[in-house]
Structure 1
Amino acid sequence: MKYASLGSGSKGNGLVVQADGTTILIDCGFTIKETVSRLSRLNIEANSLDAIIVTHEHGDHIKGVGPFARKFKIPVYATPGTVLTDKLGKIEDLRFIEGYRSFSIGNFDLHPVAVPHDAREPAQFVVEFQQKRLGVLTDLGSISTHVEKHFCNCDGLILEANHDPVMLSQGPYPPSLKERVAGPWGHLSNYQAHQFLEQIHSDSMQHLVIAHISQQNNSLNIVQNYFQQWEEKIATVIYACQDEGFGWLTLN
């Protein structure tokens, strides 16, 4: 199983996961043109995607899903709550993720996980292939025991470290948005992400990607200082960016 990002941040998100002839896209927060361009960077043809999986209805994750799925006739998987927000438009092949039950696409087993985030019915995912587990965990404001339970023993983990609380408090956001981002239904701070890793890290983890790093309320230097110790424990530690995401990583 290998995976790569089209981009990670508040201006657009998309993650490609590929194995055994199956290619899925988790979220699509870009225009059709931009998505096609970013896929081509990874040598992927747009019409080769087998499915788009939606985590939640916020624009940086869902904006391009409907237009892209309609143009290239791609099945879309989403929770009923996400669909009820009417952000997808008409989808010819819409498949519901109901009750956070696991489902399969090709030889992938996908395990949706409920997370505390201010969306209608948000889900993050563990993607499993041949006993390797990729955890995708962004867009949540706090860590529950439910989240810890599902994201332990991951071989690869994409983890949000969205903001530095001091930068957020002194930054340009209006007070209501600052409160939302820092709240239990908003986004993880660097410290929260670091503490989560302390709880769930195992020797089986091959790759760690720190993602959804705010361009206004965080800095790469601060994030790297938080996670430097993990560079000694995990073979690959990468900091995803908005413009380029990150390149292919493979779980062996």
Structure 2
Amino acid sequence: MIRVASLGSGSRGNATVIECGATRLLIDCGFNLKTIEARAAEAAFDLSSLTAILVTHEHSDHIGGVSKLARRYKLPIYTTVGTWHAKPQTEVPQLNFLCSHSPVQIEEVCVYPVAVPHDAREPVQFVFEYDGLRFGVLTDLGSISAHVAEVVSDLDGLLIEFNHCVERLRTGSYPASLKRRVGGEFGHLNNAQALDFVQQLDHQRLQLLVAGHISEQNNCSEVVAEMLAPLSSTIDRIQIASQRQGFDWLEIAHPA
């Protein structure tokens, strides 16, 4: 069984937990130490039970709280060389560099980094494999490259960003330069891009779909939920991740 939970998902901070057997991995920590500890306590989650922190890229809503959290709980960090040198952190207990095209074994879990098109130094997302189950995390990318489509496949569960509505972004209050960045091929997935990718996945295998990293200014969770509603006939569980609360534990397992 794989379990996944979120302590927050969006442009003001991200933190996702993947549990595989006794191994618990935190993907990103974009919250300060006080906030992440408060959110963990609210969710009845023990941060000291973590095995390691994986960092996707250097933007503050993903890396902002990583070093302090690692020091407080003596956690190893896994990230790419580009990410680390783009925004060097203060001293950490243990630093492990990932190759963006090579899997790494972390205790019971095989972690597949996925190089993605995003406006960062060496950004990656991840696919986690444990006991024959595969869970993917796919946020912060402006387009679905052939490489992403190849690696992020044959999934039992997926957390994917439905970042923005194209029309809301176009007519919204962002400066023109930021609109171009968010909507560009190295920015963030819009609703249509994310939905198109999900529709191409094997729904006979996909048990769980989580829509995350939803923009509070340029999107709406109700719109995303409405878009995903027709998929409920082929995907067992569909969940929306919020900025404030993330989502509680969800699990994927082999069919009985």
- Aligned-residue offset at 1:202: 2.8
Equivalent residue for 2:45? 44
Q: Distance in 2 between matches of 1:28 and 1:14?
A: 5
Structure-2-length-normalised TM-score: 0.95
Q: State the Cα RMSD in Å.
A: 1.1
1:75 and 1:94 in contact (8 A); partners too: yes
Q: Distance in 1 between matches of 2:240 and 2:94?
A: 34
Q: Which moved more, 1:203-212 or 1:85-94?
A: 85-94
Q: Which moved more, 1:217-226 or 1:2-11?
A: 217-226
Equivalent residue for 2:14? 13
Q: Does 1:134 align with 2:135?
A: yes
2:203 and 2:234 in contact (8 A); partners too: no
Equivalent residue for 2:158? 157
- Aligned-residue offset at 1:99: 4.3
Q: Does 1:56 align with 2:76?
A: no
Q: Aligned to 1:208, what secondary structure does the other structure show?
A: strand
Pairs within 5 Å for 1:8-157:
8-157=9-158
Q: Structure 1 residues 85 and 170 mapped into 2: Cα distance closer, same or farther (>3 Å)?
A: same
- Please tell me the residue identity of whatever aligns with 2:4: Y
Equivalent residue for 1:223? 224
- Please tell me the residue identity of whatever aligns with 1:205: L
Q: Distance in 2 between matches of 1:96 and 1:13?
A: 21
**Could you give the per-residue CA deviations for residues 186-217 of structure 1, whole angstroms, max 9, x where no partner exists?**
00000000111122233111100000000000
Q: Distance in 1 between matches of 2:164 and 2:88?
A: 26
1:148 and 1:200 in contact (8 A); partners too: no
Structure-1-length-normalised TM-score: 0.97
Q: Distance in 1 between matches of 2:188 and 2:90?
A: 27
1:168 and 1:178 in contact (8 A); partners too: yes
Q: Which moved more, 1:87-96 or 1:26-35?
A: 87-96
Q: Which moved more, 1:218-227 or 1:122-131?
A: 218-227
1:136 and 1:158 in contact (8 A); partners too: yes
2:99 and 2:113 in contact (8 A); partners too: no
Q: Aligned to 1:149, what secondary structure does the other structure show?
A: helix
Aligned length: 252
- Aligned-residue offset at 1:19: 2.4
- Aligned-residue offset at 1:21: 1.4
Q: Distance in 1 between matches of 2:230 and 2:88?
A: 40
Which ranges of structure 2 fall in alignment gaps of 5 or more residues? Answer: none
Q: Distance in 2 between matches of 1:223 and 1:101?
A: 33
Equivalent residue for 1:174? 175
Which ranges of structure 1 fall in alignment gaps of 5 or more residues? Answer: none
